[in-house]
Structure 1
Amino acid sequence: MKKKIQFVTIALISLLVSSCSKGWLEEKQNIKLIVPTTLNDLDLLMNSSEFEYDGRGAAETSCDDYNFTPEQLSLFYYNSDRDFITWKKERDLEYGSSQLNEWVAAYIQVQICNVVLEGLETINRTEKNKAIYDRLKGCALFYRSRQFLNIAMDFCKYYDADTAPADLGIPLKLTADKDEKIVRASLEATYQQIVTDLETASKLLPVEQIIRSQVARGGAYALLARAYLFMDRYQAAQKSADSSLKYHSYVEDFNLVNNTGTRPLVIESKEMHLRFSAMTRSSSNPTYGRIADDLYDLYENTDLRKSLFFRKETDNKYSFRGSYSGQLFTGTTTAEVLLILAETKARLGDPDGAMDALNILLSKRYISQSFVPLTAQNQKEALDRILAERRKELVTRGIRWQDLKRLNRDPQYAKTLTRTIGSETYNLPPNDPRYVLPIPQFVINYNGITQNQY
């Protein structure tokens, strides 16, 4: 049975990889001939290693957390890496046999989820099988919505309730049908699908993780809180964050982490909602580039993250070493949920509650003897500190680009990005169309969907 499922998974992935470059499933094979049909088969399919990858690499490359010298820039293998670093208008995610970019990785996962969801429709849910049935459906909805959100964050405008019905969203692939016509939905339909799937998943998933590599209820609510925050729906985001913390509230105490070795935070942290959630195509930024000075200077000497996250290199600049795994971790954590809770409380006029939530996190990030709980005199003061802590805590998580997009709409936080590489200086003004990444050209060529305009 194990060999059979391995074959099925390989066959599906082979179809899906070709599908991403040839009209989804241009090959006229009958996918029903290779689709598992039992709950056990579907369970094994949902345990595919494909779900370990979480996307957003191009956005991480583009954000303002890194600086580069000409020599460092030349180290990148793909021209597209250099194009994203310099915010070139003609950027393109290259596609090759050795490179799985975030668009391909996302829709591989989406298609597997659709196969599982359609497989579940052929199986009767009974009292005996309801636990595994609900978990599988919840997992499939979670992973599909996670990838829909990733693609929307990178390749769409920031969500605005006034313009979202007319703004272009993403292709919402909701069936396993290889012949389905592919079009871009509206941004409104895109986000509504994401939140609908996550709201359903959060009710279906188990309270406790069956194994560390599988998501549970707290993780679904965490991703839902992230989605609502990026829709500016602060009350819904706060409610989802509260729900996530109800089921998953552990915060890693950095005072107890042994600060030796190359990567001291490569730990099995219970803070993570998923054990594996690696950035797809991270472009080796922490290795090739250096952490931007303005980011590094945000960390106080009593902040344990200053030494746990960063390593001083021979050029006296700093690189990142603080990932929870060997690759950049991009999944949700209790820390991110607390930051969402703090921000939404501040935005909804509760600065005291906002600082209470923030202090739960910071008490585990600063040297215990030196930490004094923070207070804020007003909403603006609370929000300033929370947004600074958000950048510090979520560095290299693939979140900064989306935060820049949303904060640029507020003149108080708008920022022109500048990179000087050798004798060349590159600028990205607030709200520039280049904040919306171009859809890979191979997708446009084969599917004919609408490209983002510059």
Structure 2
Amino acid sequence: MKKIFFILPAMLTILLTISCTKKWLEEKQDIKLIVPTTLNDLDLLLNADLFQYDGRGGVETSSDDYEFTTTQFNQLPSSFDRDFITWQRNRDFENLVPVQQNEWKCAYSQIQVCNVVLKRLGSIARNSSNEVEYDRIKGTALYHRAKQFLNMAMTFCKYYDKSTSSRDLGIPIKLDDDIEEPVNRATVELTYQRIITDLQESAKDLPIAQPDYSRVARAGAFALLARTFLYMDNYKEAINAADSTLKYNSLVQDLNLITNTSGSRPLNIQSKEIHVRGVMVKASSNASIGRINTTLYNQYTDNDIRKILFFRKEQDGKVTFRGHFLNNLFTGTTTGEVLLILAESKARLNDTEGAMEALNKLAFNRYKKGNFVPFTATNETDALGKILQERRKELLTRGLRWQDLKRLNRDPNYAKTLIRSIGNEVFTLPPSDPRYVLPIPQFVINFNHIEQNTY
């Protein structure tokens, strides 16, 4: 039968070989017979380095947060980046060798491991002696599967529209570890319902406390659920999920307390407002070749601490981004993002006072003490404008701007035509253009003959 991705029967073995502990492998001398059978085995699978990667590098490159001179554009080492920067119709991941760069392979490799874990859990008896570990492993697998389903939906599907979601093409919802299982694209509605189901169940199973930044806890599941509901325009449920997140983790890092502002990376992955490690790997680094959009950079006032911590001035007088938590761009959820979701959702439900309260909880820790004047708004429209501006400044390079453009383009007040000038050539991307939905990689179509996105 046809396969959805290049995960052959040996793929799981490869993951185990490169990711699990030496001791675990030594206990199983015949590599062909490696089958995870214990909770420790399954935990090791979910600790693989692969799970820190989040994809979305292509759509990040396509967003309006970057600009390029002709020289910078020509310096890009691959046509892949140039195609994304200029919004070509044919953008394919096929020639990207590292799985972390290939958004489709990155996602479904993780989904496959999660399905293996969930399937094997069914053969292990849950009892009073292992229930804590059992539930944590189950919750972690459900979280990572849902996260990758959401990443795929954000990249390869139309924006969620309740009136058309039952007809719009979603992604293949792979729930079984059988790689020979025939696959088809679900609808957008079924795609998002699966994401919600996985995250709600995950939140019940995950522990309250987060032992370290590489492990997800309950607040992280609710945060991703809040992100999901925001991207469904379900503001009431987004508020409920955001409130649940803040119940377990409401810490916002005070950027006023960061004194070492001269380093190459002043922000630390150990920040307690981070719910779980998540990084983006792009085909090439815009931080070293492209520049942050000048208009966007000018939105940061001198009282905004992020202007100091997020950017580095280059010799040409323009800036690159340095506000990431790791060597690669951070894509995980944070308390800051949750507060912005809460603020926006309240504003859209006409709770202007509540919206400003949530926004100021974040802003108080992002602007210089003594100079910060709390945000106020006269009405819903005023509040929404301020919140969306802060959202773009706070969540820069998180891989979320592309999806934000897709949803905001539906509103004439925020619709935007993207323009890139490369030398004498001008490229444009009008609001709601079909190119906002990426084509399914050709290697997937060749193997499965699933329906391609149309342009």
Matched residue, 2:249 = 248
Code of the residue aligned with 2:235 in structure 1: it is Y
Matched residue, 1:270 = 272
Q: Distance in 2 between matches of 1:11 and 1:329?
A: 26
Distance 1:225 1:13, change over 3 A: farther
**Unaligned 5+ residue runs, structure 1?**
1-8, 17-30
Q: Distance in 2 between matches of 1:282 and 1:219?
A: 28
Of 228, 241, 260 in structure 1, the residue corresponding to residue 262 of structure 2 is 260
Q: Distance in 2 between matches of 1:156 and 1:77?
A: 28
> Mean Cα displacement is larger for which, 141-150 or 211-220?
211-220
Matched residue, 1:66 = 66
1:281 shift after superposition: 2.2
Code of the residue aligned with 1:126 in structure 2: it is N
Q: Distance in 1 between matches of 2:166 and 2:121?
A: 32
Matched residue, 2:23 = none
Code of the residue aligned with 1:218 in structure 2: it is A
1:210 shift after superposition: 3.0
Which secondary structure does the structure 2 equivalent of 1:374 belong to? coil
Contact 2:96 2:283 in 1 (8 A): no
Contact 2:213 2:274 in 1 (8 A): no
Q: Distance in 1 between matches of 2:281 and 2:178?
A: 26
Contact 2:81 2:283 in 1 (8 A): no
1:71 shift after superposition: 1.3
1:94 shift after superposition: 3.2
Deviation per CA, 1:86-124, whole angstroms, max 9, x where unpaired? 001122123343463111110110000000000000011
1:223 shift after superposition: 0.2
Q: Distance in 2 between matches of 1:13 and 1:186?
A: 32
Matched residue, 2:188 = 187
Matched residue, 1:210 = 211
Deviation per CA, 1:213-248, whole angstroms, max 9, x where unpaired? 110000000000000000000000000000001101
Matched residue, 1:299 = 300
1:262 shift after superposition: 1.6
> Mean Cα displacement is larger for which, 32-41 or 440-449?
32-41
Matched residue, 1:22 = none
1:40 shift after superposition: 1.1
Contact 2:339 2:359 in 1 (8 A): yes
Q: Distance in 2 between matches of 1:96 and 1:298?
A: 35
Q: Does 1:438 align with 2:422?
A: no
> Mean Cα displacement is larger for which, 278-287 or 52-61?
278-287
**Paired residues for 1:25-36 under 5 Å:** 33-36=33-36
Normalised by the size of structure 1, how large is the TM-score?
0.92
Code of the residue aligned with 1:269 in structure 2: it is S
> Mean Cα displacement is larger for which, 377-386 or 77-86?
77-86
Matched residue, 1:84 = 84
Code of the residue aligned with 1:68 in structure 2: it is F
Which secondary structure does the structure 2 equivalent of 1:383 belong to? helix
1:371 shift after superposition: 0.8
> Mean Cα displacement is larger for which, 90-99 or 314-323?
90-99
Which secondary structure does the structure 2 equivalent of 1:94 belong to? coil
Distance 1:266 1:209, change over 3 A: closer
Matched residue, 1:228 = 229
Which secondary structure does the structure 1 equivalent of 2:312 belong to? strand
Deviation per CA, 1:114-164, whole angstroms, max 9, x where unpaired? 000000000111111110111011000000000000010011000001101
Which secondary structure does the structure 2 equivalent of 1:84 belong to? helix
Q: Distance in 1 between matches of 2:13 and 2:454?
A: 31
Code of the residue aligned with 1:75 in structure 2: it is Q
Matched residue, 1:238 = 239
> Mean Cα displacement is larger for which, 189-198 or 287-296?
287-296
Matched residue, 1:280 = 281
1:391 shift after superposition: 0.3
Matched residue, 1:332 = 333
Distance 1:107 1:184, change over 3 A: same
Alignment identity in percent? Answer: 59
> Mean Cα displacement is larger for which, 408-417 or 85-94?
85-94
Which secondary structure does the structure 2 equivalent of 1:419 belong to? strand
1:34 shift after superposition: 3.0
Deviation per CA, 1:60-92, whole angstroms, max 9, x where unpaired? 010000000121112222211100100011221
Code of the residue aligned with 1:262 in structure 2: it is S
Matched residue, 2:126 = 125
Which secondary structure does the structure 2 equivalent of 1:425 belong to? strand
Code of the residue aligned with 1:186 in structure 2: it is T
Matched residue, 2:315 = 314
